[in-house]
Amino acid sequence: MNNKVKTEIAVGVILLVAIIVGGIFYWQSKKVQMPVQRAVVPTPVVQQPTQTAVNQQIAQTPQAGYKLVRVSDGTTSFSFQIPEKWLTETRHSGEKQLTTEEMRDFLATNYDGDIKINPKLNSDYADMPWKLLKEMSPKEVARYYFKSDEPSFPFPNASVAAGDHIWYTDTSWQQIDFYIKNESVENVITKVKKEQENYCKQDANMAGCGEIWSQIIIDGKDADTVKYPTDRDEKGHEFISKGGTGGSNYYIKISDNKTLVIDKQAKGDAKFETDFNNLIQTFKFTK
């Protein structure tokens, strides 16, 4: 191979190397200049509570010295606040199907002691001793618990009391009962007015006659309310009696065929009336 050919080959190799090295530098420079594509991490969306949710949360937080009571029959639920020392009874709410023995225990309730070990005591709810209650058959217990034979006088779905007893056998002066009725509010009120009319036909001046009907708002719902007068002594001074209780009832439409009745059995002292007004103000239908 002569020198001319060797020179041409050497020049060709040098050119090839130059091209390759130039290409490498070119692509390295392009790589540096290209923007880095980073993974985009979405900013988490924090769901802010609505004002309604905030208000409901506030309503569910009892104020100092009070407790929250929740009642449900399985479809209708509501809550309210009462003083911590008040008694509560919610076993008859209807949300849970009680066993025969649980119903028997409910009927055997006495706030003075255990009627199962004290034969001198009768139930505050059924007005009978344990001897009779324990001998009842399951069918009899259920009939008494649901008061199937007395549809007009069932046990309330719930009760609260400022006193030391909850009674279902007599008037309880510091007790409030809650009834969930499977009737329209119109039917319930019509029956109440008819019963009162029949009662007062005997003598319109009898204690308890002269009730006053009105409407208020409870948790955004219209509530028909009736307030019964108190009794009066010979000097015209007010006093509370079984005839003139000074109590009041509240009728709230839940649906076309369901009504909530709040029954305040009697007028109480200033503290009781203030606590009852707080119950109404904090009353909420819940889900």
Helices 100-107/138-146 angle, 10° precision: 50
User: What distance in Å separates the CA atoms of residue 245 and residue 264, rounded to the nearest whole number?
Assistant: 10
3-state SS assignment for residue 52: helix
Spatial distance between the Cα atoms of 47 and 60, rounded to a whole number of angstroms? 21
The per-residue b/e assignment along 18-46, b for 16 or more CB within 10 angstroms, e otherwise, is eeeeeeeeeeeeeeeeeeeeeeeeeeeee
What are the backbone angles phi and psi of residue 23, rounded to the nearest 5°?
A: -65, -40
- pLDDT means per 10 residues, the chain with 287 residues, are 50 49 50 49 55 54 93 97 98 96 98 96 96 97 90 91 94 94 96 94 88 96 96 88 94 97 97 97 93
Position 51 scores a pLDDT of 53
Q: 258 - beta bridge partners? A: 255
In the 8-state DSSP scheme, what is residue 116? Answer: T
Per DSSP, which regions of 92-237 are E strands? 158-161, 175-181, 212-218, 221-227, 231-232
Closest by Cα among 185, 177, 187 to 253: 185
Strand ordering across the sheet containing 175-181: 87-89, 158-161, 175-181, 258-264, 248-255, 221-227, 212-218
pLDDT of residue 116: 97
Which one-letter amino acid corresponds to residue 32? V
Cβ pair 261, 226 in contact under 8 A: no
d(CA 48, CA 259): 35
Q: Cβ–Cβ contacts within 10 Å for residue 260, how many? A: 25
The predicted pLDDT at position 5 comes to: 44
Output the pLDDT for position 49: 56
222 forms beta bridges with: 217
Residue 69: beta bridge partners?
80
CATH number of 62-94+157-286: 3.40.1000.10
Point out which residues pair with 225 in neighbouring strands: 214, 250
According to the model, what pLDDT value does residue 119 have?
94
